[in-house]
A and B are shown apart, each in its own frame.
Chain A
Amino acid sequence: MPAGHGLRSRTRDLFARPFRKKGYIPLTTYLRTYKVGEHVDVKVNGAVHKGMPHKFYHGRTGRVWNVTKRAIGVEINKQVGNRIIRKRIHVRVEHVQPSRCAEEFRLRKVKNDQLKAEAKARGEVISTKRQPAGPKPGFMVEGTTIETVTPIPYDVVNDLKGGY
């Protein structure tokens, strides 16, 4: 019989629950709220069969574009041939986690606002742009002894003694 390419084909390990984490899923998953525009990771929970995304989307991150009673609409990029399509899928909340990809940005935004406010109070103009890491600063090498290394004249006898 041929292999079959059903919806959940080849997902035996992908959708399996982790070791010793089977059974009831902790209620935090259900208590989380998602707003339109937030970033979320799609991670399938094999214990819940409803609202499962296709295995392609497992591990993808996208933006929320819709919120319904028990599910979230997520917009994910998928490469089809020579272009990338923005796919919109609906996924139940059990298969979704809040993404930390934008967390650093949000924190930096808050910090920058704070720095700018402080600078304004002082009357300075600061740039909060991130700079790429430049070349390392120069330094003097200290505490070294100089050892001069010169080649020794070639000695056939010694070399051959080592075995060949």
Chain B
Amino acid sequence: MVTPTARRGPENSLQRKDREFIWEVAGDHLHGRRPLATTRIPTAKRRRPLFSHGHGLPPNGIVPHPGIKPNTHEGKPNYNGAPTPPPSPSQSVFVKTQKTRAYSKRFQVKFKRRRQGKTDYRARLRLTNQDKNKYNTPKYRFVVRFTNKDVTAQIVYATIAGDIVMAAAYSHELPRYGLEVGLTNYAAAYCTGLLLARRVLKFRDLDQEYEGNVEASGEDFSVEPSDERRPFRALLDVGLIRTTTGNRVFGALKGALDGGLDIPHSDKRFAGFKKDEKQLDAEVHRKYIYGGHVADYMKTLAEEEPEKYQSHFSEYIKKGIEAGGMEALYKKVHAAIRADPTLAKSTKEPPKTHKRYNLKKLTYEQRKASLVERLNALNSSAGADVDEDDDE
């Protein structure tokens, strides 16, 4: 068997039976036909001693090539039409899909936070852009984000150095006010928004001035500017959430509004807005604010599917929360929030810092200093008594 020696032209230097072997191995999808001229067999593979055993099989059989990735072109600008073979089945080892060097050189990455899929820059631009004739006046955003188990509400303003969070409220603080379960539902979002609003107003000494809507009625409530100081104004920042009617984001918004913040809004997206009548049904909205929708579900489940009720609402049952007691519970939470919205300092110790296993990256000054040291050491060891240090 001839060991292939040629570097170029995969089939030129090989005998016919060897060539046919390569086709067999390389192209199961080709069904015995010759591969097209465009199928390149990578040089590295060709130079391995494929035929040294005399059986015509590579030493370890046909293994799928690690790292074959199908070439996706979505969302990549400046793609210059590099040749990309179709994604190969796992058997076909030698045909590798790849992005050419030219493609990578011309590729323009999106902003980091866009790559991570976290920031909508179009929205962010419009939220942070302040009128130039207002100079350094900050433009506050009321940021609401949901994770799987938590609700985050923050008041943020943008600076060149980075965004600064003025105040934040999380739904994992709500146990302090008496709400222990259901921390990501509409009612909890309302509580979080309310907590944030009261916190910010207290921070700015506006909490006596702007009580907001103490009795949550579900109606559309906007703060009235009082005589002395204007209300605290912020703009709702939903992030990447799809703004549908009844989204929890608007629950948080309602909480902040009732708390006394001035946030421009419309009632179109509150839970309970009827598209046909183009009116907000305040009763329905009130129900959602007090967890009425959860209570209803609890009731129906308890009647019809008791096992599911046990599993789904296990935490509620453990804490002894009943469908009927929802409203009273939330009323208590709201009152507790209004009574003391200040942030409680966490009594947890700071997490212990782990030992560093890799080298710490030196700063420019440190690198320069170490270079000077090394050069001085070299000079002195060489015996040269030139008195200058080469710190170029």
Measured CB to CB, the residues of A under 8 A from B are 20-24, 26-28, 30-35, 67-72, 93
Contact = CB atoms under 8 A, between A and B. Distances in A.
Interface in B116-142: 121-122, 124-125, 128-133, 135-136
B132 A70 contact: yes
Given A68-B133, A93-B132, A24 B121 contact: yes
B385 to A, nearest CB: 15
A39 B374 CA distance: 45
Q: How large is the interface on B (under 10, 10 to 19, 20 to 34, 35 or more residues)?
A: 20 to 34
B336 interface: no
A34 B106 CA distance: 35
SS of B interface (majority): loop
Interface of B: 77-78, 106-108, 110-111, 114, 121-122, 124-125, 128-133, 135-136, 158-160
Contact of A31 (B107, B111, B122, B128): B128
Contacts of B129: 30, 70
B77 A27 contact: no
A122 B57 CA distance: 92
B124 to A, nearest CB: 7
Contacts of A27: 121, 124-125, 128, 158
A33 B121 contact: no
B77 A30 contact: no
**For A28, A32, A33, which residue has the most chain B Cβ atoms within 10 angstroms?**
A33
Given A30-B128, A67-B132, A71-B132, A22 B77 contact: yes
Question: Which 9 residue pairs are nearest across A and B when measured between Cβ atoms?
Answer: A20-B108, A69-B131, A30-B129, A67-B133, A33-B135, A67-B132, A24-B121, A31-B160, A28-B160
Contacts of A69: 131-133
**For B114, B129, B136, B159, which residue has the most chain A Cβ atoms within 10 angstroms?**
B129
Given A32-B160, A33-B136, A68-B133, A23 B108 contact: yes
B298 to A, nearest CB: 46
A34 B160 contact: no
B74 to A, nearest CB: 16
Nearest to A68: B133
B139 to A, nearest CB: 10
B132 A31 contact: no
A26 B113 CA distance: 12
Contacts of A70: 129, 131-132
